[in-house]
């Protein structure tokens, strides 16, 4: 994948300056996560939204989900550090939505926030032209594949606009979905598919 580094740098500036959700009254204070300018990005990975650790540290997947995803890539046969060195990490929205009003976990971003942030994601995909996009969590999966249960999508590979899409479950380590043995088997299947894609696409 060739990278238009100057265009990515412009994207970084645009994202960091973005206050669209704040101005629309959707966020009390926008704090966009800085997109990485990867020298050699080979895969794009899209999550839901930054969590509190990412919000504090300022880079994508800085919290437990990043640790789990890196381990999952190891299981799919990628070399050490591939996750940080070759996977362009991004999400549907780029600002931490805050805690859920119920106090139970983080608030998922609203449809309006996702819509306002989408142009950045479209720019990233257009610039990076990845052969593989990994979709992490139901919200990212539903955005690209339409609403379906995770049990229908995890373990399968989809094709969209000439690129492979691989769904994975949320990887925070507190995902109850992975408590069920049959769902862990679907994750194993997804990582096997990821291993096949690694070889087939020369990632
Ligand atoms: S979530 Fe996206 S669109 Fe909204 S303020 Fe943050 S960077 Fe801008």
Tens digits of residue pLDDT in 70-115: 999 999 999 999 999 999 999 999 999 998 888 778 899 999 999 9
Site to substitute for ligand 1 among 17, 32, 112, most atoms within 8 A of C-beta: 32
Residue 154, pLDDT > 80, answer: yes
Classified as helix, coil or strand, 30 is: coil
Site to substitute for ligand 1 among 60, 94, 110, 124, most atoms within 8 A of C-beta: 94
Position 143 scores a pLDDT of 97
Site to substitute for ligand 1 among 30, 92, 106, most atoms within 8 A of C-beta: 30
Position 1 scores a pLDDT of 44
Q: In the predicted model, what is the mean pLDDT of residues 7-27?
A: 96
Using alpha carbons, list the distances in angstroms from residue 145 to 46, 128, 160: 13, 20, 9
CATH of domain 5-200: 3.40.470.10
Position 102 scores a pLDDT of 82
| Cβ–Cβ < 8 Å for 41, 156 | no
Tens digits of residue pLDDT in 178-189: 999 999 999 999
What span, in angstroms and rounded, lies between the C-alpha atoms of 97 and 105? 11
173 band by pLDDT with thresholds 50, 70 and 90: low
Domain spans of the chain? 5-200
Position 182 scores a pLDDT of 97
State percent of the chain over pLDDT 70: 97
Position 175 scores a pLDDT of 76
- Whole-model pTM: value is 0.95
Residue 196, pLDDT > 90, answer: yes
Identify the sign of the CA torsion 10, 15, 132, 148. Answer: negative
Query: Six-digit token pair at 152?
Result: 């229908």
Shortest-distance atom of ligand 1 to CA 20: 5
Position 174 scores a pLDDT of 66
Q: How close is the Cα of 88 to the center of ligand 1, in Å?
A: 18
Residue 195, pLDDT > 70, answer: yes
Ligand 1 shell residues, CB under 6 Å: 15, 18-22, 30, 32, 93-95, 113, 116-117
Position 2 scores a pLDDT of 47
Residue 4, pLDDT > 80, answer: no
Q: In the predicted model, what is the mean pLDDT of residues 46-75?
A: 95
């Amino acid at each position: 994948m060739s990278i238009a580094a100057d265009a990515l740098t412009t994207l970084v500036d645009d994202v960091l300056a973005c206050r669209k959700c704040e101005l629309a009254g959707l966020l009390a204070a926008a704090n966009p996560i800085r997109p990485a300018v990867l020298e050699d990005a080979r895969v794009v990975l899209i999550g839901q939204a930054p969590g509190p650790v990412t919000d504090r540290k300022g880079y994508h997947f800085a919290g437990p989900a990043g640790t789990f995803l890196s381990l999952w890539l190891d299981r799919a046969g990628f070399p050490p550090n591939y996750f940080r060195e070759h996977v362009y990490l991004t999400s549907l929205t780029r600002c931490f939505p805050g805690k859920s009003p119920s106090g139970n976990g983080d608030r998922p971003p609203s449809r309006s926030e996702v819509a306002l942030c989408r142009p950045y994601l479209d720019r990233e995909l257009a610039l990076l032209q990845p052969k593989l996009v990994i979709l992490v969590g139901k919200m990212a999966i539903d955005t690209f594949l339409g609403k379906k249960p995770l049990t229908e999508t995890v373990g399968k590979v989809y094709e969209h606009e000439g690129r492979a899409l691989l769904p994975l479950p949320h990887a925070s380590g507190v995902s109850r979905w992975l408590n069920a043995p049959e769902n862990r088997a679907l994750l194993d299947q997804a990582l096997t598919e990821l291993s096949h894609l690694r070889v087939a696409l020369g990632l």
